[in-house]
């Protein structure tokens, strides 16, 4: 079965301190989330609460993510020029997870709201979906929920690579929605066009809860029929992916 039991992320902090009162204030004022059955553990370093039947956990650790893991994955954020340098400055972290509850979409939205509410002047980045998001980018995308849109770019990271002069793309985060990750092969256009194309397919699959099958085609016009295969991942060496052939 594809998918994770918990949405999981790490809020990277510049200084080893966390203003919990300010966090809960933002969570209530901005998103209307008031914790139900709150519980604290380990001298108030771990907070667990329910909201609408979903279990939320936040754990503060006054130490960086070990082995340079966050810095290594920050390199995949092509939208943030100094990502690795900035991420290397983090000295602490808040581990955020949202589990339980039957509705995956609602769980995803709660996760983004909780992570967004953690962001303040002490936040360096949000490490999730295989990369590190810049705080302002994550916040900007979370804001669309105010107009009942989905924060797709916070839900799923769209990665880019290059293969023989053509763009190749991939997703990180689809597994949270019980989908296979997707890879987009041999796109001949510009990067901004490619990102828009990938985002359109991600939106279609997530919002409509679509299952893409091996041997099918996909397209946005009557004439566009892009082949879909399911095979061992190219960017992933440990799983099968849905591969969309863009040529």
Taking residues 76-87, what's their average pLDDT?
A: 97
Q: In what order do the strands lie in the sheet with 217-218?
A: 157-163, 166-172, 182-187, 240-245, 226-232, 217-218
Range among 48-57, 86-95, 163-172 with highest mean pLDDT value: 86-95
Residue 102: predicted pLDDT: 79
CA dihedral sign, ordered 95, 134, 114, 239 = negative
- What integer best gives the mean pLDDT of the chain? 93
User: At residue 164, does pLDDT exceed 80?
Assistant: no
pLDDT at 2: 45
Confidence tier at 42 by pLDDT (50, 70, 90): confident
- Give the global pTM: 0.94
CA 55-135-94 angle, 5° bins? 40
Q: What is the per-residue pLDDT across 111-138, written as a single tens digit (0 to 9) for each?
A: 999 999 999 999 999 999 999 999 999 9
Where does 7-154 sit in CATH, by number? 3.30.310
pLDDT reading at 168 higher than 50: yes
Q: What is the DSSP letter of 65?
A: P
DSSP class of residue 244 equals E
Report the sign of the C-alpha dihedral through residues 157, 46, 71, 89, in that order.
positive
3 has a pLDDT exceeding 50: no
Task: List every span in the chain annotated with CATH 3.30.310.
Answer: 7-154
Q: Where are the beta strands (DSSP E) in 62-178?
A: 92-99, 123-128, 131-133, 157-163, 166-172
Kindly list the distances between the CA atom of residue 155 and the CA atoms of 127, 189, 213, 236, in Å, as whole numbers in the listed order. 12, 25, 22, 19
């Amino acid at each position: 079965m594809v998918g994770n039991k918990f949405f999981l992320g790490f809020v990277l902090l510049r200084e080893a301190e966390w203003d919990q009162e300010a966090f809960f204030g933002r969570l209530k004022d901005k998103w209307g989330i008031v914790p139900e059955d709150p519980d604290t553990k380990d001298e108030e370093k771990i907070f667990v609460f329910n909201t609408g039947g979903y279990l939320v956990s936040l754990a503060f650790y006054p130490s960086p993510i070990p082995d340079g893991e966050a810095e290594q994955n920050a390199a995949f954020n092509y939208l943030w020029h100094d990502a690795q340098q900035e991420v290397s400055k983090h000295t602490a972290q808040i581990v955020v997870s949202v589990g339980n509850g039957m509705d995956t979409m609602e769980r995803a939205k709660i996760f983004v709201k909780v992570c967004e509410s953690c962001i303040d002047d002490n936040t360096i980045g949000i490490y999730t979906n295989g990369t590190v998001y810049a705080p302002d980018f994550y916040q900007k995308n979370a804001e669309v929920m105010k107009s009942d849109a989905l924060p797709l770019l916070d839900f799923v990271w769209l990665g880019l690579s290059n293969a023989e002069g053509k763009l190749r793309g991939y997703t990180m985060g689809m597994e949270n929605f019980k989908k296979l990750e997707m890879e987009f092969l041999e796109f001949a256009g510009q990067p901004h066009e490619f990102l828009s194309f990938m985002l359109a397919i991600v939106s279609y699959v997530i919002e409509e809860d679509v299952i893409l099958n091996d041997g099918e085609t996909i397209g946005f016009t009557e004439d566009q029929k892009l082949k879909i295969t399911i095979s061992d991942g190219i960017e992933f060496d440990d799983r099968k992916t849905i591969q969309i052939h863009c040529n």
